[in-house]
Amino acid sequence: MKNFFRKQWFLVISLVIVFFAGLVRFYDLGVVPHGMTWDEAAIGYNGHAIWTTRRDEWLTRLPTSFRSFGDYKAPAAIYLSGAFTKIFGLNLLALRLPFAIGGVVAVGAMILLVKEWGKVFSWPENQQNALALIGGFMLATSPWHIHYSRTGFESGLSLTLLIIGSYSLLVGLAGKKLNKLFLLIAVLSAVINVYTYHSAKLVVPLLGIVTAWQFRDKLKTNWKEIILFILSGLALLYPLIKDSLYGKGLERASTLIVAKTDSVLEMVSILFSQFFAHFSPSYLVFGETHTLRHGDGVWGVFLMPVFILIILGVISVFRFKSSKGWGLAMAWIIIGILPAALGAELVPHSNRSLLALPGFIIMALMGLRYLSDLILQSKLNQKISGSHGEKNMVWVSVMGTLLLWQSLLFVNYLNHYFVNFSKDSADDFADGYLEAFDYVKQFENEVDKIVFTSDYGQPYIFALFSRKTNPIWYQGGSLVKYEFKDVNEGDLSRENAIIVSSKNDTDLLEKEADKVIYGSDGLIRFKIFKR
């Protein structure tokens, strides 16, 4: 056993890190965050509708862009979640399961990416495996990544595909000959990614171009094969290109600052301002966010030790400018943040900038190398030895302190996430909707009308999700007894009806209600009255 571990230590530790990432991402997945956003409900319902009827909620057959609330969602995550809800039922756990699996896969892929990165950019061979494991651990413990692995946001799946695609592209281009299998994987990952998340439509091609530039000499000698791969990718993107030109595939472009500003100077000024907002410590470390849908509001993109290492990595750029790895890492960060910087609202935006995360981690690893070299070369490290003559004691102490600091902060983060955030996020995750609809739907055949508050937004999609309503029945009038509106006290005078009010809709006390739905924060979400 000892010999096996000695020979296979990299594989064993990699599996431990991936297993640990899985524990964090799967624990209480259907409970925390409690409730679900209306975007999650839309993804889950439309995916289930596609797999059961081949149509979305608007009866569009196998759409390339999902109309949903008029935001025309990318299709891949919806089709994938639909497969899971088809197998496990239309419920919150089944909806989130593919996103959590994607988060775990991303950690394993990050280990492989960093290891290949070290080979390509000539990191010391004795450091490559250790840095790859540390990179995977950084992703596994990133509050940013954990949040988007536990909720139904397309960005988490997009990040996984981006890491897989980048790793495959490096392997495909870095050898003496083109590795056509890995180039094929890179192309497929890129294509699926563009179908997964709107930000990927900008990030994937730009990052691909920058990466390809690093291997431009090889591309020149293999240009025929490269063109064939590019044309194959474009052919697979034909439905999306057609939808963008003749359908609603570019509808989200109307939310960019390009469409909101009147002059180039104003646009550039806003772009720079919004871009650099994503480098603020209050955002990166201390959890600044406009909504708890995009973070817990206390813990930021990564923990403090990683942030410090990123700063050291940036400092080291000025000492090692000749390394191609620095340029690609910085380009990844810049390109990853662009979709968020181009948005016309909610800046900084952790969801739209999630694709920058691997670039930040690689920059942190650059900083770790820089710090390690400084300590190993210091006179203090060379002078101090252990009680039994052990060398590099200062280096061991500093590295051990960083690991312990990261681990303790991470335990503190988990405690906040599963205890405080699960309560604080009740409003942002529309907590109570499913419980309310599960209660009232049992009376549909007994009453003439169900008046349901619209105070929390988009109640109809939660009705469809809870009732598992066939979209054909929905468009045919299945919700005819439901009336979604701002409830007032006059509604309580209706006969043979159920009135569902929010905590703000009426002045009546909860004790006068027939049923009260509480959120995970212990506060009233809905008051239900039978008339």
Q: Which long-range contacts (CB under 8 A, 24 or more apart) does 372-380 make?
A: 372/399
Return all residues near 253 (Cβ < 8 A) that are at least 6 apart. Answer: 259
Q: What is the pLDDT of residues 276-326, one digit of tens each?
A: 999 999 999 998 888 888 888 999 999 999 999 999 999 988 776 545 688
Q: Is the peptide bond before 33 cis (omega within 30 degrees of 0)?
A: yes
pLDDT surpassing 70 at residue 510: no
Count of residues making up the chain: 531
Mean pLDDT value of segment 409-438: 93
107-115 mean pLDDT: 97
pLDDT band at 2 (very low <50, low <70, confident <90, very high): low
Give the integer Cα–Cα distance in Å for 222 and 199: 30
Least confident stretch, 4-18, 326-340, 436-450: 4-18
Give the tens place of pLDDT for each residue, 323-345. Answer: 568 889 999 999 999 998 888 67
Q: Other C-beta atoms within 10 Å of 170: how many?
A: 24
pLDDT, position 3: 64
pTM of the model: 0.94
pLDDT of residue 260: 63
- pLDDT value for 388: 64
pLDDT of residue 111: 97
**Which of the given ranges, 51-55, 243-247, 319-323, has the highest pLDDT on average?**
51-55
Q: How confident is the model at residue 366 (pLDDT cuts 50, 70, 90)?
A: very high
**Mean pLDDT computed over 411-440:** 93
Average pLDDT score, the chain: 89
The pLDDT confidence band at residue 470, using thresholds 50, 70 and 90, is very high
pLDDT surpasses 90 at 242: no
- Cα–Cα distance measured from residue 147 to residue 149, given in angstroms and rounded to the nearest whole number: 5
Local confidence band at 395 (pLDDT 50, 70, 90 cut-offs): confident
Percent above pLDDT 90 for the chain: 64
Question: What are the phi and psi torsion angles at 307 (to 5°)?
Answer: -60, -45
Examine the pLDDT at 386 and tell me if it is beyond 70. no
d(CA 276, CA 418): 31
Closest Cα to residue 197, out of 169, 229, 230, 165?
A: 165
Distance, CA of 500 to CA of 5 (rounded, Å): 60
Total Cβ atoms within 10 A of residue 87: 10
Of 518, 477, 514, 519, the C-alpha closest to 499 is 514
Q: Mean pLDDT across the stretch 497-507?
A: 82
Region 368-387: what's the mean pLDDT?
83
d(CA 491, CA 510): 16
pLDDT tier at 206, thresholds 50, 70, 90: very high
pLDDT tens-digit series, residues 175-196: 888 899 999 999 999 999 999 9
**What local confidence, expressed as pLDDT, does residue 506 receive?**
61
**DSSP string covering 388-413, please?**
T--S-HHHHHHHHHHHHHHHHHHHHH
DSSP state letter for 55: B
Q: Is the pLDDT of residue 199 over 70?
A: yes
Instruction: Pick the closest to residue 521 from 436, 417, 424, 419 (CA basis).
Output: 424
Q: Is the pLDDT of residue 508 over 70?
A: no
- Contact criterion met (CB below 8 Å) for 432 and 34: no
Q: Residue 525 has what DSSP assignment?
A: E
Q: What is the mean pLDDT of residues 433-456?
A: 92
With beta carbons less than 8 A apart as the criterion, state whether 366 and 326 touch.
yes
Of 2-11, 425-434, 503-512, give the lowest mean pLDDT range.
503-512
pLDDT over 70, % of the chain? 93
H helix runs in 90-153, sequence order: 92-120, 125-140, 143-149
State the Cα–Cα distance between residues 336 and 52, nearest whole angstrom: 36
Top pLDDT among 384 and 105 is at 105
